[in-house]
Structure 1
Amino acid sequence: MELFANWHYPTAITVGDSCISQIGEKCLNLAMSHVLVVTDPALAELPLVSQVLAQCKEAGLVTGLFCDIQANPTGENVRNGIEVFNSGEFDGVIALGGGSSLDTGKAIALMAKQSISLWQVEDVGDNWKRIDVDNMVPVVAVPTTAGTGSEVGRAAVITDTDGEYHVKRIIFHPAMLPATVLLDPRLTLDLPPHITAATGLDALSHNLEAFCAPLYHPMAEGIALEAIRLIKNFLPVAFEDGKNIEARTQMLVASSMGATSFQRGLGGMHALAHSLGALYNKHHGLLNAILMPYVLKRNRDEIEERITRLARYLELDHPGFDSFFEWVLLFRARLDIPFSLAEIGITLEDVQLVGEMSVRDAAASSNPVSLTAADYAELFTDAVEGRL
């Protein structure tokens, strides 16, 4: 392992019950005067968004709302948001919601004042250097799910629908990180159990792939280790008792830890999940949850020693790869996660395309085992057929 790296760590984070009440103050501290709230259509209908808008107005801010966002946000969603942002002469963004809202809000703030197109800053090579940093606008991020951790991420996953096939592209800039984050567990209390499970296992997949990635980042490795313990202890509680403030708080924190730790890298779960999300518009966290054991098994030879250390930290009986693998299967079952992709309506019709898309995905580069397009196609086949 080469002991050389560039490390970037999260931003200002406020954690606590009802800390959303500080939203106006946080915006003013960033010199915002006209703020665009970016959220999804369902959330826009709930009292929370009205509450946030009212608190901002009370603080003296001019406010606007943009909610034309799909579950897997598209380039068109971002472009429409940029048009709203510029027509309203806004100078800041509140990204409020799950990963789709957070990613869209960050992408709007990144690109609204740029002279280049969104796809020109896809996370390839040094594309990020094309951004005029002085023309970026600040973001206050408020997650309402505990999964993606996008509130502390330097990237946004946006679906390119302009070509023959839909493709998820990662838009990246080091300064894309939101300036302020509010982690308020009260905003997650009404999440239904199936969303709690899918988003929570998304957080697990981030931390687990980061822990297993082959890159040098001991700090991220340590963060991932503790986050997995938090998820093991608190996700079942949040799933079974959605009003439990402690469990909801710990899951929000574990989610942010996941997006912090995956600076170390992701892997095959995300390479496949990005491809399947683009093709079939399925929930990203649910895809990762289903794919998890299939990718773990494929990577076993390279991660067995590392997984044994993780199993010890989790205090599993007879710590080793087998005990951890069994825990993953039982954990998924306890959270009512489907065993196979076929159970959520995905077939083998696009098997070759899935393999080709996955091997080109940015997450594939840090999988512990180097996989070919054929390997990804085989993994996908196993996950569709439920073959472990």
Structure 2
Amino acid sequence: MNTLNEFSFPTHIIFGPGARKRMGETLLSRALKRPLLITDQGITSLPMTAEICELVAAGNCDVRKFDGVQGNPIYSQVQAGLQAYRDHNADCIIALGGGAPVDVSKAVAVMVNHPGSLFDYEDRSDAKPIDKPVPPILAVPTTAGTGSEVGRSTVISEDDTHVKRIIFSPKLLPNPVFADPELLLALPASITAATGMDALTHLVEARLARGYHPMCDGIAIEGLRMVARNLRACVDYARNGTGATPEHLTARGEMLLASIMGAVAFQKGLGVTHSLAHSLSTVKDMHHGLANGIMISYAMAFNAADASLQPVFRIMAQAVGAPEESAGGFLRWIDELREAIGIPTGLAGQGVTDADLENLTRFAFQDGCHQLNPRTVSADDLRNMYAQSLRV
């Protein structure tokens, strides 16, 4: 685990401790000279950002930093990033951070050579095609959750309504990805927990999603094993201030791989948890991983009521080592994990009230993720899941 490795599935991934140190030579080999580094305001002041800039400069590059990304990314952040790209006369983008900087990086890359609004290229039947060159995107993930670094899409919200829009194209795949677990060693416990629950939700929903995709199913199950082995340990290491021990590095590396595998697996589809979570981000600006971590128990209880899904729940329960290999055993394992890593059991303490139910339900029902949920979901079902989470 603690050695350098390379993969090309679905993109070129340089994985292992010190992977980031390959950045300068990679830029040099591709004759890229003027990268724009896109990151967020939480990362920009950390030592890793200065180190990344030094590594890039070692490739004889003139790097400029744009750190105007915040929380759930919105269109105005993309526009500001595009202006920074043009002001620098950049020839590539380096995405440093979690899902938000990576998504903004992809959106900026689309807009470099595609005129009009970003949302003209939204993933819908009447959208304009992304048919012009997109500048190279190199990704350096600093969390283990979204897996956006190996995804073909970007999710950007409207400024006023916070409605999430999805832009999709194979051209948005970063290449390469420098997946370096050393960059996750100082991640706080709360972020480790929330992003880890995001990865877990991707893996669970991908395995349950409608359709036939045995490759994604297999990847999802192996990713679940990795989360079960390592998420609780990573949170404990963060709480205890554990440094770069071999055990900590291995756990962070496996969580980073589990995050990547979750994003690969959900090519098959996602489900109702994500519709519930997307709406919470839209209406309440809640962190996506936290929203998934809270709502997954209610969503999985809904799915577990379908008798035809019991075999899949047994497989997942076995993968995570639940004492009881059943749907009930798997649900109890999730609840115990949430409690151990500090994820709230409901929405009542998160600024959500009964007055939000109609808005939350409306946006969740409009969200496309639940269409691939293995059990058909109605608006009333969504409202009931939110209501249950408010009564805890």
Q: Say whether the fold is shared (TM-score over 0.5).
A: yes
1:184 aligns with 2:176: no
Report what 1:3 is aligned to: none
Listed as ranges, the gaps of 5+ residues in structure 2 are 1-7
Judge conservation of contact 2:210–2:373 (CA < 8 Å) in 1: yes
Q: Residue 225 of structure 2 corresponds to which residue in structure 1?
A: 229
Measured in 2, the distance between the counterparts of 1:76 and 1:68 equals 10
Partner of 1:118: 118
Shift of 1:312: 2.4
The structural deviation recorded for 1:9 is 4.7
3-state SS, counterpart of residue 69 of structure 2: coil
Residue 28 of structure 2 corresponds to: 28
Q: Distance in 2 between matches of 1:375 and 1:114?
A: 40
Residue deviations 1:310-360, cap 9 Å, x none? 222333323110111111111111111111011222112121121111111
Kept in 1, the 8 Å contact 2:110–2:118? The answer is no
Letter in 1 for 2:77: N
Q: Is the 8 A contact 1:316 1:324 kept in 2?
A: yes
- 1:57-76 → structure 2 map (5 Å cutoff): 57-76=57-76
SS across alignment from 1:39:
strand
Structure 2 counterpart of 1:16: 16
User: Take 1:171 and 1:331, find their aligned partners in 2: how far apart are those partners?
Assistant: 33
Aligned residue number for residue 171 of structure 1: 167
By how many angstroms is 1:126 displaced?
Answer: 6.1
Normalised to the residue count of structure 2, the TM-score between the two structures is 0.92
Confirm or deny: 8 A CA contact 1:355 1:375 kept in the other structure: no
RMSD between superposed Cα atoms in Å: 1.5
Matches within 5 A, 1:151-300: 151-162=149-160, 165-242=161-238, 243=243, 244-300=248-304
- Residue aligning to 2:3: none
Closer, same or farther in 2 for the Cα pair 1:178/1:292, shift >3 Å? same
**Does the alignment pair 1:316 with 2:312?**
no
What secondary structure sits across from 1:223 in the alignment? Answer: helix
TM superposition score normalised by structure 1: 0.93
Q: SS at the partner of 1:95?
A: strand
The 3 A distance-change label for structure 1 pair 369 and 9 is farther
Query: Once the 2 structures are TM-superposed, how far is the Cα of residue 205 of structure 1 from its aligned partner?
Result: 0.3
* Cα offsets for 1:348-383 (capped at 9, x unmatched): 212112111111112122111221222212211112
1:354 aligned to which of 350, 356, 360: 360
Answer yes or no: is the 8 Å Cα contact 2:142–2:183 preserved in 1: yes
Q: What pairs with 1:77-88 in structure 2 (closer than 5 Å)?
A: 77-88=77-88
8 Å Cα contact 1:143/1:182 also seen in 2: yes
- Secondary structure in 2 matching 1:68: strand
Task: Give the drift of 1:30.
Answer: 3.5
Q: Quick one: distance in 2 between partners of 1:151 and 1:96?
A: 10
Question: Could you tell me whether the CA contact under 8 Å between 2:324 and 2:330 is conserved in 1?
Answer: no
1:280-334 deviation line (CA, Å, top 9, x unaligned):
1111101100001100011110532211122223333231101111111111111
Amino acid at match of 1:79: Q
Deviations 1:222-266 (A, max 9, x none): 000000000000111111113410000100000000100000101
Distance in 2 (CA, whole Å) between partners of 1:160 and 1:147 is 23
Map 1:33-72; keep pairs closer than 5 Å: 33-72=33-72
Deviates more, 1:38-47 or 1:374-383: 374-383
Partner of 2:341: 335
Alpha-carbon offset, residue 132 of structure 1: 2.2
Aligned twin of 1:4: none
Correspondence 1:296-307 to 2 at 5 A: 296-300=300-304, 301=306, 302-307=308-313
Structure 2 Cα separation of the partners of residues 31 and 374 of structure 1: 55
| Residue in 1 that maps onto 2:5 | none
Give, in whole Å, the separation in 2 of the partners of 1:247 and 1:334: 16
Contact (CA 8 Å) 1:26, 1:140: kept in 2 or not? no
Unaligned runs of 5+ in 1: 1-7
Give the aligned partner of residue 140 of structure 1: 138
Contact conserved, 2:283 with 2:359, CA < 8 A, in 1? no
Write the letter of the residue equivalent to 1:100: A
Structure 2 distance, partners of 1:366, 1:275, is 17
Residues 184, 193 of structure 1: alpha-carbon distance in 2 compared, 3 angstrom cutoff: same
* Maintained 8 Å contact 1:34/1:90: yes
CA distance in 1, matches of 2:10, 2:126: 22
Aligned-partner Cα distance in 1 for 2:30–2:194: 33
Matches of 2:350 and 2:34 in 1, distance apart?
Answer: 42
Cα separation, partners in 2 of 1:109 and 1:29, compared to 1, 3 Å: farther
Identity %: 38
Letter of the 1:85 partner, please give it.
Answer: Y
**How far did 1:107 drift?**
1.2
Asked whether the equivalents of residues 30 and 138 of structure 1 are also in contact (C-alpha less than 8 Å), the reply is no
Aligned residue pairs total: 375
